[in-house]
Amino acid sequence: MRRLPALAALALAWSGCGPDDSGGSGTGGPGGGPAPPGRPNVVLVLADDLGFADLGVHGATDVRTPHIDSIAARGVRFTDAYVPGCVCSPTRAGLLTGRYPQRFGHERNLRHPFPPGAGLPVGEKTLADCLKAVGYATGIVGKWHLGIESAFFPLARGFDEFFGFLYGDHSYLDWDAEPGNPVYRQDQPVVESTYLTDAFTREAVSFIDRHRDGPFFLYLAYSAPHDPLEAPQAYLDRFPAIADPRRRTFAAMLSALDDGVGAVLDRLRVHGIEDETLVIFLSDNGGIPAENTSRNDPFRGQKGQLYEGGIRVPFLAQWPGRFPAARIETRPVSALDLFTTALAAAGGSPPGDRIIDGVNLLPYLDGSNPGAPHRILFWKYGSPAAVRKGAWKLVKVGSNPSQLFDLASDPGEQTDLAASRPDVVAELEADLAVWKAELVPPLW
């Protein structure tokens, strides 16, 4: 490894992350030192409670999402993409650490009022920590939901810049609706009359403008289309054919989010850096139809459940010149892989003192590795637990008998095969037991 300047060495010691010994040699530190050339910018766009069937590329006809769909056209659409949690906060903890959140007790959602000391454990290193350590400017715009105390604040977790809120949801129209849940710029509350989704887009574009010389990491965590269902008339007017007022508002909210994705992509093109930027779009969990009218077709279940409708999500990625265009990838992948993939692209490496569950997807996408990124995937949300191995999926809820599904022939999980394949049930139950033994109890 090349000898690092003093500030960079301090940053690596602080973050637990470092340059990749296989060839990368970061020189960044606090304040964003230079990174070696050729490293992509990383833009991670996270939707909130978006259903699998709510994108045009997944068959939606009443909602239009041309800008989000364009990522699939210019890159890769993952058909079997999963999140590590079936609710908001655990997934965010997992995708920022590359680790099953159940490993460090971040298993359940954070709900207001947050218990004292509740948040992403301070010993966990985030993607922002690790990218900052190799010279990236780091910013988060949108929903945090990983703790409200100073130790958990985004600016203490590797992010140079923060514009957003800390809790699980926020009004889109009234920024001062909940005085205890403000929108922050850095660490100062701000109040505007801007539609919140549009404000997040404005701040994301500004971040790109200010850091266009790169490299930068932008985590754009929209709160849409999570409830409350609120949209300005201008967006509602786009969907006169939708009779259900709640679904019409949902469509308007998603349309605003899609406009935001379009603005981000356009700004990358304006600055001539689209080919130098890895863009990822996904949802934090499945939709919840009763709350926001989202749709998870053709899957069973919803947010808060471990059936496919709760954990299989839209997942699109583009990196022109590196990822093939219009590729459909059917091998199972996880949001945990974003951590490892982004670090590999940046020439960095994850902390070496802990298990990292995410996989670097780059060799699977460039064709150099024809195998499967994951032999097996696990989930746990309190009592319910699940495991996918190949096409087999086992779901175990409390003391109820395990259910077994063949996702290759039954992606909707309608036919329980447990009685006819006890051998598979026994194998997957044993795998699940081994994984559970590695976990710590939930922290709240």
| Domain chopping of the chain, boundaries | 17-374, 377-436
17, 67, 86, 88: the active-site residue: 88
> What's 81's DSSP letter?
E
Cβ 143 vs Cβ 162: under 8 Å = no
Q: Which CATH architecture has domain 377-436?
A: 2-Layer Sandwich (3.30)
271 is catalytic: no
Q: In whole angstroms, give the CA distance from residue 199 to residue 260.
A: 9
Res 37: pLDDT: 54
145 is catalytic: yes
Contacts of 394 (CB under 8 A, 6+ apart): 386, 387, 388, 402, 403, 404, 405, 424, 425, 428, 429, 432
Res 367: pLDDT: 87
Res 202: pLDDT: 99
145, 170, 226, 374: the active-site residue: 145
Q: In whole angstroms, give the CA distance from residue 414 to residue 299.
A: 9
Burial 11-40, CB ≥16 within 10 A → b, else e: bbeebbbbbbeeebbbbbbeebbebbeebb
Cβ 163 vs Cβ 138: under 8 Å = no
Long-range contacts of 178-183 (CB under 8 A, 24+ apart): 181/112
Q: Environment class of residue 107 by beta-carbon count within 10 Å: exposed (0-12), middle (13-18) or buried (19+)?
A: buried
Nearest alpha-carbon partner for 373 in 352, 351, 393, 388: 388
List, for the chain, all residue ranges whose pLDDT scores fall below the cut of 70.
1-16, 20-37
Res 126: pLDDT: 98
Name the 3-class secondary structure at 218.
strand
Name the 3-class secondary structure at 320.
strand
Res 21: pLDDT: 52
Residue 42 token pair: 């990383």
Residue 87 CA to its chain's centroid (Å)? 11
CATH number of the 17-374 domain: 3.40.720.10
Res 171: pLDDT: 98
